[in-house]
Amino acid sequence: MKDLKQTLLDLILESVSQANGKRQIVYLEGGYYDTRFGPQDFSINTLSMAIHVAEEIVKRKYKVTRVLLGVLVNNIGIVCGEDACVIPNKESDFNNNEALVVPHILTDMLNKSKVTKNDPVIFTNERTLRNRGLRLVKEIVDESKKYSIVMDKNKEGADLCSVLIEEDKIPLTIKKGKTWAARCPLIMGQHYADLYIKISKKYGENINLLIVDMGETYDRHKMNNGAKVAFMLLHKMYGFDTGNLKICNFSFQDDELVHFEYDVTEKKI
């Protein structure tokens, strides 16, 4: 079994070979952490791996126009499983509205790398993604046919809004009374869509973009479903072709990043 670093490099080389004359952009995301607890071993190790792979790309002079690094921060306290999102209850409500400050242990790692000298690290937080995603769903919820929206009710009578993609019903929001809450696939879908739009604006649409994300095993569903939602949003909401985008999600069973699986999501021809 190939180790993680070589697997990542092979995927990048494959993407380069499929660029067809377009500018190859690689985005590597690691360092995911919950602001309640700060960066743990998994966060530090995934960011370290992202940095090492980025430096290796530069060292080996791969035909990559830009290699970008990013960190996603959980500042809303949601924990995701395969079947549901767990949101803190009133007694343990996550109510931190302070400005996001990335811990020194992560910024020090990034500042030591030459890769970050040319392009700033992309920091994203889930609260912003949640709010953007909720505004978007409220715009499209009444256009069920165009966006393949499916509405259901749960046992408590709340409205569940999902999107049907390749026969999978992927949850987007839950609405109880006048209160809306985002599900994890919507947050991740908004994240990947935002990355694509931001990078396309900066480097032009004549690019071949590979997004690599690293999460723990219990996040596998939210990342993969989020990737599917991103393609739907980019195509149906924002009008992009997305034939130049591939999202590769790695999920790990251990903090040492030894045991892993990965899934690739791309536009269906």
Q: What is the pLDDT of residues 186-196, one digit of tens each?
A: 999 999 999 99
Q: How far is residue 124's CA from residue 130's CA, in Å, rounded to a whole number?
A: 11
Tens of pLDDT, residue by residue over 215-231, are 999 999 999 999 999 99
Name the residue among 259, 211, 220 with its Cα closest to residue 80.
220
For the chain, where are the alpha helices, taking DSSP H only? 4-17, 41-59, 104-111, 126-140, 144-147, 184-203, 220-232
Tokens (6 digits) for 212: 């690599």
Do residues 158 and 176 make contact, with C-beta atoms less than 8 angstroms apart? yes
- Strands 66-74 and 122-125 turn out to be parallel
Distances 186 to 132, 174, 261 between C-alpha atoms, Å: 10, 11, 22
Lowest mean pLDDT among 15-29, 92-106, 196-210, 248-262: 92-106
> pLDDT digits over 37-68, tens only?
999 999 999 999 999 999 999 999 999 999 99
For residue 54, what are its two tokens?
Answer: 């980025």
- Say whether 88 sits in a helix, a strand or coil: coil
Q: Where residue 88 falls among pLDDT bands split at 50, 70, 90?
A: very low
CB 196 within 8 A of CB 245: yes
